[in-house]
Structure 1
Amino acid sequence: MQIDNFFKENHLPLTGKTLVVAVSGGPDSLALLDLLYQIKKRYHFKLISAHLDHKLRSDSLEEEKVISAYCLNKSIQSVNGIWPQNLHPVTGIEAAARKYRYNFLVNVMQQNQGDYLLTAHHMDDLLENILLKFIRSGNPNEMNSLRAVGKVQGMTLLRPLLSKKKDDLLLYDQKRQISYVIDKTNYEDDTLRNKLRHHVIPLLKTENKQVGQNALRFSEQVSLLTAIANKSFAQLQQPEPFLGIAYRLQTNALEGLSSDEKCAFWQNFIWQKWHERVNKNLANFTLIVYQGFFYLFNKLPSLPIFQKVNLGQKFSFNNRKFLISLKPEKSKKLIGQFVAENKKQIWAGPIRPGTKLLLKNGNHTKSKKKFAQSSIPNILRPYCLTIYAGDKVVFIERTYSNQLVNSNDTNYFLYEDI
């Protein structure tokens, strides 16, 4: 069993690199560690074993002993960590453990300037994952979450054993006389994954021994189709940030797409920005169409409050930083300009319902009319920064600026501090 072909096929250089391997103490991860050790001298790379004790079993310390003994015998750097029991949640333990484990691995990568993070997921894991995601969501992108080459928090994540069967790894360990620990909870039927492993997958293999290879082929095809779709979507006009809480895009930017293709575009955009996989209903995200624009947002924050503003001093509005100045500031992002009566106290906050705005001709108009003209939907209007001089509205972000200028008025510049 060779592993260097994986790096050659994926154009991943090894010489001089630092490889961090997630090692659980089980047969799969120790086989991966040993496979890399066998080619270490040939390619002159640094090899690090990273093990996290989840403190979920009374015998978990045995895993660390086995790993440490293996690494000590071969002069491999070993990094061990624990997941404190007081951090264990009452529910969702599996997802929480996975999150803590990957954070631990990322920290090991950062502390050791790692180039590649490797896990020992194999073909049987891939098949289990596809079935799990099929049951839970049916989203092809989720079914393809175990990829040979991927990213985790911006770092390169490799799974070089996806083309290998579990039985092949066990046979490798036997031939190499590698000691490992069997997690006894793997024999229990307390999780859906274990139920699939014990009861469903054996039936599938009796029907077709190549079901694992079919799963790998399916995953590779989904990866290819996803890459093609991503490339096509990237060529389209992209949504722009809006008010720090949403994204906005003109509807005509997607006019050549079918309704299903538009949905796929937004699913892809949500993945790119929030790293969340969603189905056609977009989960917790809201997509609305108003006056020729799409608006996408997720869980709007609490409504902003009113506050006094001092000239030249930063203030916060809806988790954004702003500054009002009497002079141009070239180093900052200009949001707008407005005029206001000299020496009036400046306030910042949301628009008050029913507010009327002064026009250049001296007449007034309802603020909702100005918002509609600016294509801003009702639900987002309170999040538009509104500037008051005393009790008079002199500026609304993306909507209005006082146009009636008197001789004793002062010109102000509003900047966002990015």
Structure 2
Amino acid sequence: MKDPKLTMERSPLGSRFFSSSNTLVVAVSTGVDSMVLLDLLQNLPKLRRPRLIVAHVNHHLRTQSTAEEAFLRTYCRQRNLPLEVAQWAVAEHPAKGIEAAARRFRYSFFATVMDKYQAQAVATAHHQDDLAETVLMKLIRGGRIEQLGALRWQRPFASGALIRPLLALNKQDLRRYAKDHQLTWFEDETNRDLTPFRNRVRHRYLPSLSVENPRLVTALASDAEQINDLLGLANERLGELDATLRTERGFSLAAFRRLSESTQRSYLRYYLTKRGVATIKEEQLHQLVTGLGDQTRPPQSFQLPNQWCLVKGYREAFLKKAGQMAQEGESEGEFVVELGQWYRLRAGGAFSVTRQPDQGSVTTVWLTNNQFPLTCRPVQAGDRLLLKGGTHQRVRRVLIDQKVPRDLRANQRVIVDALGQVVWLVGVKVAWFDRRPGALPVALCQREQ
């Protein structure tokens, strides 16, 4: 018979967290899983046994919650184990999403206990069946492949780590151990309620699928471990790629376009996730790859979840919050102009492009939707202004004719449309665009600072 204690001692966590010099918070619900975990930890060899702090949350969701708390208080007192208990009052229970809210409350409490005792980690009693259930739930719901390996041996948490020493053990192992060692535990009657998705997976879907493969739980857990290994390798390589593509604000478009399409998608997932944009859908990811690869329309802004934008310039792409002003103005070199935002000019003053002018000198130009977004950049050789009647004039000639001092010409900015046409030689002259069908008035504003 497999001894769960030996399996836990050989886990990848042993050398780091199981030591008499460490303090470990143990999350205990009084269910069979957590009672086995607590017993195993108490029976580690003395030199490998950390100082244990028991943490329990009374969720007040069941009639037996009070009895469970009382039992655990007695258990810990008899064994001289420090115990911390939190009360999740009924008045704090939300009308919807109670499971997620309960989890947030628990983990916030665990972090508080960790800080109080300066503990290195929190240990939970997640086991192999939990891992298999999580994998199957993710497969059914769909989503990002990273989520298939959501339950790992350890992950960063609060000031230390959250560890799961029992992941190599299945539910049968734990029940057998509990019976052999005559442990006392409480059964949660809500686990039989098939309303929660996880309970349906646990009591209906996994048993049905296990008819096809009696070792399905072990197989799914193994799949999750392999996925984690491959994801670890992929993230390592993507981190190296990120270092080669990175620019001051984002990443190089020229280097990005040299990658294969599959690598572009993988890199974009990595780039966005590392910077806090984690909910992008695969369909939108394909659109981003297509848009970033299109060199016929250099400036473009892609709307992302949570008010993020991926801005595509001429040479680089970068993230910014929608509506966020480019605080450094033209020191950014090139940026997409947000309507209604003011931007400082290195030569002095500020400008804005808006549909509702407020103050400052105002000139109106008529633009169509396909001319957006607008981009601000330095003057380039070959820039020309469209004049009334369809002729053009070189921007550098305009600067000379307008007697702009030579030392100021180096800092001169232009606003160009999505087609690359100069709309405004900022502070000097505006291009002429006929009032075509569908064109709307846009105000070009300038003020002194």
State whether TM-score is above 0.5.
Answer: yes
Q: What is the Cα deviation at residue 352 of structure 1? A: 4.0
- Correspondence for 1:58 among 63, 76, 80: 63
User: Superposed, which structure 2 residues align to 1:69-88 within 5 Å?
Assistant: 69-88=74-93
The equivalent of 2:352 in structure 1 is 351
The answer to whether 1:362 aligns with 2:404 is yes
> Do the aligned partners of residues 110 and 271 (structure 1) sit closer, same or farther apart at CA in structure 2, a change above 3 Å counting?
farther
* Counterpart AA for 2:404: G
The equivalent of 1:129 in structure 2 is 134
> Do the aligned partners of residues 152 and 197 (structure 1) sit closer, same or farther apart at CA in structure 2, a change above 3 Å counting?
same
**Divergent runs of 4+, >6 A:** 239-242, 302-305, 354-360, 363-366, 370-373
Q: What is the Cα deviation at residue 367 of structure 1? A: 5.1
The equivalent of 2:447 in structure 1 is 392
Indicate if the aligned counterparts of 2:33 and 2:174 stay in contact, CA closer than 8 A.
yes
Per-residue Cα deviation, 1:165-211 (whole angstroms, up to 9, x for no partner): 11111121112222111111101111111111111111222222211
- Correspondence for 2:24 among 19, 23, 31: 19
The answer to whether 1:293 aligns with 2:303 is no
Deviates more, 1:281-290 or 1:360-369: 360-369
Deviates more, 1:68-77 or 1:120-129: 68-77
CA distance in 1, matches of 2:281, 2:226: 20
* Counterpart AA for 1:64: E
- Correspondence for 1:187 among 192, 217, 224: 192
The equivalent of 1:111 in structure 2 is 116
Q: What is the Cα deviation at residue 225 of structure 1? A: 0.6
Indicate if the aligned counterparts of 1:7 and 1:14 stay in contact, CA closer than 8 A.
no
- The two structures, once aligned, show a CA RMSD in angstroms of 3.6
The equivalent of 1:98 in structure 2 is 103
Q: What is the Cα deviation at residue 233 of structure 1? A: 1.0
The equivalent of 2:220 in structure 1 is 215
CA distance in 2, matches of 1:273, 1:28: 36
CA distance in 2, matches of 1:134, 1:125: 14
* Counterpart AA for 1:289: K
The equivalent of 1:260 in structure 2 is 262
The answer to whether 1:249 aligns with 2:272 is no
Deviates more, 1:99-108 or 1:149-158: 149-158
Q: What is the Cα deviation at residue 8 of structure 1? A: 6.1
> Do the aligned partners of residues 43 and 366 (structure 1) sit closer, same or farther apart at CA in structure 2, a change above 3 Å counting?
closer
The equivalent of 1:224 in structure 2 is 229
- Correspondence for 1:203 among 205, 208, 212: 208
> Do the aligned partners of residues 339 and 208 (structure 1) sit closer, same or farther apart at CA in structure 2, a change above 3 Å counting?
closer
Indicate if the aligned counterparts of 1:237 and 1:253 stay in contact, CA closer than 8 A.
no
Indicate if the aligned counterparts of 2:57 and 2:86 stay in contact, CA closer than 8 A.
yes
Indicate if the aligned counterparts of 2:23 and 2:119 stay in contact, CA closer than 8 A.
yes
* Counterpart AA for 2:254: N
Identity %: 28
Aligned residues: 338
Q: Secondary structure at the match of 1:47?
A: strand
CA distance in 2, matches of 1:48, 1:94: 25
Deviates more, 1:206-215 or 1:4-13: 4-13
> Do the aligned partners of residues 80 and 338 (structure 1) sit closer, same or farther apart at CA in structure 2, a change above 3 Å counting?
same
> Do the aligned partners of residues 19 and 291 (structure 1) sit closer, same or farther apart at CA in structure 2, a change above 3 Å counting?
same
The equivalent of 1:411 in structure 2 is none
Per-residue Cα deviation, 1:88-129 (whole angstroms, up to 9, x for no partner): 322222222212211111111111111121111111111110
> Do the aligned partners of residues 251 and 339 (structure 1) sit closer, same or farther apart at CA in structure 2, a change above 3 Å counting?
closer
Indicate if the aligned counterparts of 1:66 and 1:181 stay in contact, CA closer than 8 A.
no
Q: What is the Cα deviation at residue 25 of structure 1? A: 1.4
Q: Give the TM-score taking structure 1 as reference length.
A: 0.71
Q: What is the Cα deviation at residue 79 of structure 1? A: 0.7
> Do the aligned partners of residues 84 and 248 (structure 1) sit closer, same or farther apart at CA in structure 2, a change above 3 Å counting?
farther
The answer to whether 1:273 aligns with 2:296 is no
The equivalent of 2:432 in structure 1 is none
CA distance in 1, matches of 2:229, 2:169: 21
Q: Which runs of 5+ in 1 are unaligned?
A: 306-317, 319-334, 341-345, 374-389, 395-418
The equivalent of 1:147 in structure 2 is 152
The equivalent of 1:314 in structure 2 is none
* Counterpart AA for 2:92: L
> Do the aligned partners of residues 260 and 54 (structure 1) sit closer, same or farther apart at CA in structure 2, a change above 3 Å counting?
farther
Per-residue Cα deviation, 1:142-165 (whole angstroms, up to 9, x for no partner): 111000121224521111111111
Q: Secondary structure at the match of 1:179?
A: coil
CA distance in 2, matches of 1:68, 1:9: 28
